[in-house]
Amino acid sequence: MAKSIDTGTMISETFQRKVIEPSTPSAYSDSCHVGPDALLGIKRQQTNPTRWNGQSWQEFAAALRDHDIELRENIAARGTFATDAGGTAYGLPHGVVIARSAAQVSALLKAAQQFRVPVTVRGGGLTTEGESVAFGGVLLDMTGMSQVLHVDTDALTVRTEGGIFWHSLAEELRRHGMDYLSAPLNLTSSVGGTLGVGGIDVNSPRLGCSADQALSVQVVTPRGNIVECSDTQNAELFQRVILGYGQFGVITEATLKIRRYTPLRMHYFYYDSLRIAVEDMQLLNRNDASDYSGILTIMDCAVNLLVAFDSDEREAAFRANWQSHLRGHGEPGFALCMLRRYVLRPWKLPEAWFLFQRKRELFPEFRRSEYMRDGLMHDRTVVFSRAVWKFWGSKQMVIPDLATSAEKFVEAVERGNAVCRKYFPHYTLYCVGIKLRPEHKAHYEMSCIPPDAEGWAYGCEFEPMIGGQVYSRDYFQSFKNAIYDIGVDLGGSYYRFGGMMKGYIRRVFGDEVVDRHLAMKREADPAMILNRDVIF
C-alpha cells in the first residue's frame, strides 16, 4: 500500500500539470502560446470543463468491486445526474456510486486517488453552475446517507448523516419539538452540500449562515482518511471543509446546533425604492429588531421587506420601538402609492397589470390555510420553498448573486438591478443579511463571505423570471458575467463562484489567497480528484 502511494505522488506531479486547467487569464498567459497579452482585456470567462479521458477506469472499477462497492454504469443511472438545478452545465459520469457509509466513501476515495479518477460529490444537486455535475469519473450520490443519528434536546444538538435533505431533517426534529437554525429555502438541498457552500435563510441576519451552525463534522479526506473535526479538534481541516466547496473532504456526518421550533409572526412592508428598503432592512439587523428579515422584489418599484418574529414579546418590542422607523407601507398604503404612480404614467399600465397579476398569484401562496394557524406561519421552509419553485423555478435556474459588506450593499443591489433590467423583462431580487461569527474568520477565507465584511455580510440574488421563454446559454452567461463584473469592481464575493464561474475566483480573491488554497488542496488531494472542476 505504502508503495502505491509513493508512486502515486510521483506520477501525480505530471498528472497535475496535465489536467488542471488554468482557469483565469493570468494563469493562462503563463502557458499561452498565443502571447503574454492574449485575452488580457477579456476578463469575463466561463468554464465548460473538458471531459475526463477515462484512463484506468476499468482497473478502478475492478478495485471497487473488490471492495464490494456497487458501481452503476448504465446510462439511466448516469443520465439522472447530467445536469444540476442550473441546467446550463452538462456532463456525464462514467459511473455512479451511492454513498452508504464513511468506510465505503473512504475506500472509494483511496481507489480514486490511486487510479486518479475524478470524484464529484452530489447532495441535492441544487448548484447552478455545474459544481455538482461530473464531467466524467465517479458521481458520489450522498443521498444514500440520510439518517438522523441522534437528537439531543438538552444540549440542543443533532447528529445526522451528510446526505440528508434539510426538509427531512426538519421533519425528524419536529417530532422532538425542535428545528434547525437555518437552511436554504428549497427543500431538497442537503446538509453536506450546504455546509460546503454556505446556506442562507431569512433568519441568517440573526443566526448566521447555515454552515456556521455545524459544531463538528465527520469528513472523509480526499486521501480516504475518516476524520472528525470541529473548532477544537482538527480545527484546520474544519476551517477548510466548512465553506470549502467540497475541496477538502466529503462530509459524511455532522453535528448541528438546533433550537426549539416556533411558528412565525409575519409582517410585510412595501417600498417603491430598493435603496430605502435595503437601508431599512439593515437598520433592523443592526439593532437586532427582528428575528427574520429579507427583501423580495416584484419589480424594482415594488419591493417587499419581510419581517418576522419567533415570539409575541419580540414582535411587541418591534412594534413599540422600530416599526415607526420603517419607511415602507402596508398593503393598502402601497396600493394607493401605486395608483398614484400609474395615474401619472398611464403608458406604464402594462406594468401595473403585471404587478396586479403577480400580487394575485403570489400573495395567497404565503397565506395558504394549511400553513397558517391563528395568524402564525408554520413550516416556513415549505411555504417559501414551494413559492420559490412555483414562481421562480424552471428547467434552468439562472440566479447569479453578489455578496458584499453592509456599506457596499446598496450600490451592489442598484447596479445589479440595472443589469437585470437590461437583460430580462421580469425578475426578482432576493436580499438578505448574514450575521458573521468573528471567531470563524478562517472559515470565511475564499468563500461567499466577502473579505471586508464586518458584523454582517449581505447577499443579493438576481433571479430572472424565465417562465416559458427560451434563451441561449450564451445569453445567460453574458448576464451572469455582467453581474459578476460588479462584484469584482466592488471587491465583494459571490455565493456561486465555482463551476462555470470559476474564472472569477482569482480576480475576486487575488492570486496570493488562491495559490495558498491551491497548495493546501494539492497537499490534501495529490491526484486532484475530489470535486476537481469546482474551484481550481
Partner 1 sequence: MRTVDVIIVGAGLSAAAAAKRLVDAGLETIVLERQKLPRHKICSGILSPRGHRFLLENFGPLPREVLHDPVSCRGVTFHFPSMVSMPMDFFGGTTPHLHRKEADYWAVKSSGAEIHDQTSFVGLQDNGDHVIVKARRMGEPVEYRARQVIGADGPSSQVIRAIYPDYPQSIPWFFVGQKFHEIIECPLDEQYFHFWFHPGLGHYTWSHARDGRQIVGVGFKSGDNFAKKHANVVNYLSDKHGVRLGEPLDDEGCAENFGPSLINRYVFGKGNVLITGQASGFLNMIGEGMSCALHSGAICGEAVVEARLRNRPMQEMYRRMIASEVRRTTDQWNPLKIAFDRPHEADFPAALMAMGWRDRAKVLRDLWSFIVLYKEFKWGRQIFRAAMQRPLIGGYSMKRWL
Ligand X SMILES: Cc1cc2nc3c(=O)[nH]c(=O)nc-3n(C[C@H](O)[C@H](O)[C@H](O)COP(=O)(O)OP(=O)(O)OC[C@H]3O[C@@H](n4cnc5c(N)ncnc54)[C@H](O)[C@@H]3O)c2cc1C
Residue 464: which of partner 1, ligand X, none does it interact with, CB under 5 to 8 A by kind?
A: none
Q: Is the dihedral of CA 121, 200, 150, 249 positive or negative?
A: positive
CB of 14 to partner 1, least distance (A): 16
Task: State which of positions 290-309 bind ligand X (CB under 6 A).
Answer: none
Q: Is 397 in the site for ligand X (CB under 6 A)?
A: yes
Beta carbons of 249 and 221 less than 8 angstroms apart: yes
User: What are 475's three cell numbers?
Assistant: 445569453
Residue 190: which of partner 1, ligand X, none does it interact with, CB under 5 to 8 A by kind?
A: ligand X
Beta carbons of 193 and 142 less than 8 angstroms apart: yes
Select the span of 86-94, 235-243, 269-277, 305-313 touching partner 1 (CB under 8 A). 86-94
Residue 250: which of ligand X, partner 1, none does it interact with, CB under 5 to 8 A by kind?
A: ligand X
Task: State which of positions 96-135 bind partner 1 (CB under 8 A).
Answer: 135
Beta carbons of 398 and 464 less than 8 angstroms apart: yes
Contacts with 41 (C-beta within 8 Å, 6 or more apart), sequence order: none
319-352 per-residue burial string, b: 16 or more CB within 10 A, e: under 16: eeebeeebebbeeeebeeebeebbeeeeeeeebb
Residue 90: which of ligand X, partner 1, none does it interact with, CB under 5 to 8 A by kind?
A: partner 1
Q: In terms of Cα–Cα distance, which of 252, 246, 255 is closest to 101?
A: 252
Select the span of 173-181, 246-254, 259-267, 411-419 touching ligand X (CB under 6 A). 246-254
Residue 189: which of partner 1, ligand X, none does it interact with, CB under 5 to 8 A by kind?
A: ligand X
Residue 328: which of partner 1, ligand X, none does it interact with, CB under 5 to 8 A by kind?
A: none
Q: Is 388 in the site for ligand X (CB under 6 A)?
A: yes
Side-chain half-sphere CA neighbours of 272 within 13 A = 13
CB of 528 to partner 1, least distance (A): 15
Choice between 373 and 422, CB closer to partner 1? 422
Name the helix (H) or strand (E) containing 339: helix 331-344
CB of 312 to ligand X, least distance (A): 27
CB of 244 to partner 1, least distance (A): 25
Name the helix (H) or strand (E) containing 149: strand 148-152
Select the span of 116-124, 308-316, 410-418, 507-515 touching ligand X (CB under 6 A). 116-124
Q: Is 320 in the site for partner 1 (CB under 8 A)?
A: no
Select the span of 72-80, 127-135, 258-266, 465-473 touching ligand X (CB under 6 A). 127-135
Beta carbons of 215 and 235 less than 8 angstroms apart: no
As a whole number of angstroms, the longest Cα–Cα distance in the chain is 80
Q: How far apart are CA 506 and CA 487, in angstroms?
A: 12
**Cα-trace Rg, the chain:** 23
CB of 48 to partner 1, least distance (A): 5
Residue 473: which of ligand X, partner 1, none does it interact with, CB under 5 to 8 A by kind?
A: partner 1
Q: How far apart are CA 160 and CA 69, in angstroms?
A: 22
Task: State which of positions 345-404 bind partner 1 (CB under 8 A).
Answer: 395
SS3 414: helix
From candidates 19, 61, 96, 126, binder to ligand X by CB under 6 A: 126
From candidates 6, 7, 9, 37, binder to partner 1 by CB under 8 A: 37
Q: Is 205 in the site for ligand X (CB under 6 A)?
A: no
From candidates 129, 131, 253, 272, binder to ligand X by CB under 6 A: 131
Q: How far apart are CA 453 and CA 436, in angstroms?
A: 8
Interface with partner 1 (CB under 8 A), residue total 40
Q: In terms of Cα–Cα distance, which of 217, 215, 173, 159 is closest to 193?
A: 217
CB of 431 to ligand X, least distance (A): 12
Q: How far apart are CA 188 and CA 168, in angstroms?
A: 9
CB of 332 to ligand X, least distance (A): 30
Q: In terms of Cα–Cα distance, which of 340, 328, 397, 368 is closest to 131?
A: 397
User: What are 375's three cell numbers?
Assistant: 395568524
User: What are 297's three cell numbers?
Assistant: 422584489
Contacts with 418 (C-beta within 8 Å, 6 or more apart), sequence order: none
**Locus of grid cell 443591489:** 413
Q: Is 46 in the site for partner 1 (CB under 8 A)?
A: yes
CB of 303 to partner 1, least distance (A): 26
Q: How far apart are CA 95 and CA 81, in angstroms?
A: 10
Residue 33: which of ligand X, partner 1, none does it interact with, CB under 5 to 8 A by kind?
A: partner 1
Choice between 4 and 50, CB closer to partner 1? 50
Taking CB under 6 A as the rule, which mask of x and - marks residues 84-103 in contact with ligand X? xx------------------
CB of 397 to ligand X, least distance (A): 4
Side-chain half-sphere CA neighbours of 456 within 13 A = 24
Q: Is 168 in the site for ligand X (CB under 6 A)?
A: no
Select the span of 63-71, 76-84, 104-112, 152-160 touching partner 1 (CB under 8 A). 76-84
User: What are 301's three cell numbers?
Assistant: 418599484
**Locus of grid cell 413559492:** 387
CB of 120 to ligand X, least distance (A): 6
Q: In terms of Cα–Cα distance, which of 500, 484, 513, 449 is closest to 243?
A: 449
Select the span of 68-76, 178-186, 372-380, 486-494 touching ligand X (CB under 6 A). 178-186
Q: Is 488 in the site for partner 1 (CB under 8 A)?
A: no
Q: How far apart are CA 44 and CA 48, in angstroms?
A: 14
SS3 50: coil
- Name the residues that contact partner 1, by CB under 8 A: 21-22, 28, 31-35, 37-42, 45-48, 50-51, 75, 78-79, 82-83, 89-92, 135, 395, 469-475, 478, 503
- Name the residues that contact ligand X, by CB under 6 A: 84-85, 120-128, 131-132, 142, 162, 184-186, 189-190, 192-194, 196-200, 245-246, 250-251, 388, 393, 397, 531, 534
